[in-house]
A = this chain, B = another copy of it.
Amino acid sequence: MDNGPTDATPTAAAFRLILLSKSNPVMGCYMFWTSLLVLKMLVMSLLTARQRMKTKTYANPEDLRLSRSPEVRFGDPNVERVRRAHRNDLENILPFLLMSLAYVASGPNPLTARLLIRIGASARLLHTVVYAIIPVPQPARALAFFTTFAITCFEAGYVLVCCIKYI
């Protein structure tokens, strides 16, 4: 490669532009924590199933035979607690993941971005623990909730400013 330097310039620029690639450490960090949060959300389905079996609360007639329950039931408090926690995940984790992806694509400071993704994702893991696994008095759940909430807002504000010209 005798013409290395002249070649390197455009290619390196191209590489730097590919923010949504695992060669970008921020994207790698996003991918790691996305996997953990997705696994956590899937576990909620299993927790719901466990509570349904324990309390014999099935919502569909075709599920009764497996458990020898006489009829469909709704509104068991243990089942509903896990379901509320699961719905809270849908309302917060999915927007956090979509927002973080746009944030990564906006090319933020790598250190800040990785810190925000780590804290935001960890707070949601904690939220599930204090909501659905071991219910603890407030404000434990509120603190975990608002940590990710604030980070998602910050990311949205950053991307809004960054992309305002494409409105």
Q: A17-B23, A153-B42 are in contact. Are A35 and B86 (CB under 8 A)?
A: no
Q: Does A111 lie at the interface of the complex (its beta carbon under 8 Å from any beta carbon of B)?
A: no
- The interface on chain A, measured as residues whose beta carbon lies within 8 A of the other chain's beta carbons, has a size of 79
**Residue among A28, A35, A60, A118 with the most chain B CB within 10 A?**
A35
Interface residues of A (CB under 8 A from B): 1-3, 6-11, 14-15, 17-23, 25, 27-32, 34-36, 38-39, 41-42, 44-45, 59-63, 65-66, 80-81, 84, 86, 90-92, 94-95, 97-99, 101-102, 105-107, 114, 118, 135-138, 141, 149, 152-153, 155-157, 159-160, 162-167
Output the nearest chain B residue to A94 by Cβ-Cβ distance. Answer: B94
Q: Complex Cα distance A39/B81, Å?
A: 26
Q: A11-B10, A38-B99, A41-B91 are in contact. Are A84 and B105 (CB under 8 A)?
A: no
